Amino acid sequence: MEDIFVVQRCNKIIIHGRRAGEVSHPPPEAEVWYRIFDTRTHGFIGDGYDLEEDAQRECLRLNLTSQVTARQA
């Protein structure tokens, strides 16, 4: 059975503002975050994860739960 929930990597750009009187400001920082994608509904689960390991752990839990529920039906 294929996984219903998969981890999706997303880009996050942090833009730093500048205060009045400052001529320049630091450049934007590129970071990543992870979310759980539901392949059935094309929706997303949860608010997102900073660590890929946390998202993978939750995906595994959700997929195992889905498989048990499908077998019981």
Residue 73 confidence (pLDDT): 62
Which has more confidence, 53 or 13? Answer: 53
pLDDT of residue 38: 96
Domain limits for position 42: 5-72
pLDDT confidence of residue 5: 95
Position 23 scores a pLDDT of 77
Compute the half-sphere exposure of residue 57: CA atoms within 13 Å on the CB side of its CA: 7
CA distance 7 to 19: 38
Q: What is the pLDDT of residue 19?
A: 79
pLDDT in tens, 15-63: 878 778 877 777 888 899 999 999 999 999 888 999 999 999 999 999 9
Q: How many domains does the chain have?
A: 1
